[in-house]
Structure 1
Amino acid sequence: MAKNKTIETTQSVAEFLNTVTDDVKRADSFRLMEIMKEATGFEPKMWGDAIVGFGSYHYKYDSGREGDAPKAGFSPRAKEFSLYLAKNYADSEKLIQQLGKHKVKGSCLYIKKLADINEDILREMITLSIR
């Protein structure tokens, strides 16, 4: 069975975020880190080489594949932020409609910049997601 690529590492989150070249995206990255830290109660950790994760949980699929993943997280990708949140909580659809400018593809939520969304709604989504 293939080894999981996205595992918790000891890489510095601040060093990683400082490699973001766009000034607005870098500032948003640090702000998003603070929002997630406050909403989850967990310290940020690097997962793989590009995901900032908060907390962790163990999963096991019927296929036998298993591993650990962050309870919540984000990655400052080239075009947009990928946010990793659970979507199976009460009011998830209602909250996502109130979030602001975003896209959803598969299990990821995408935003271009924090100015496009309601941070209070995001905070609530993160809190409910990790419960």
Structure 2
Amino acid sequence: MGEVTAVAQALPPWVLVVIAAAVGVKYLGQALAEGSEQWARILGPLGRRWRSRAERRTEKEAADLVALQRQVENLSVEVERLTARDKKRGEFEEKLREYLVYDANWHFRAQLAAAGAGTTLPDHMSFAQWEASRP
């Protein structure tokens, strides 16, 4: 790094101005060529090269945008499908809960009726017992 500083200090000050101007002209020319077909022709082969590179970049960005839009559409369809499935599952679970309450009440009333008649019902497993007994 010290070598670069030594070289820069050894150069006359106008050289740095010329380098800065050349860099500025390059960026200005590139911006003009990328933005205008006429400026690309005026700047010659270098302008046409900058212009074609900008057009390729624009085409790639457009293709990327189309691909992203397709992915968003696919995700939207998938979200709708999963939302509908979740809604159906929620409705089923609610029905199952209601049935389990009904079933528990029915068994309670059946046990009361059996006790009133002097008999007993066969043993019945609760859901937790039934679940634990499964392989």
TM-score (norm 1): 0.19
Give the structure with the higher percent helix. Answer: 2
Where relative contact order (Cα < 8 A, 6+ residues apart) is larger, the structure is 1
TM-score (norm 2): 0.18
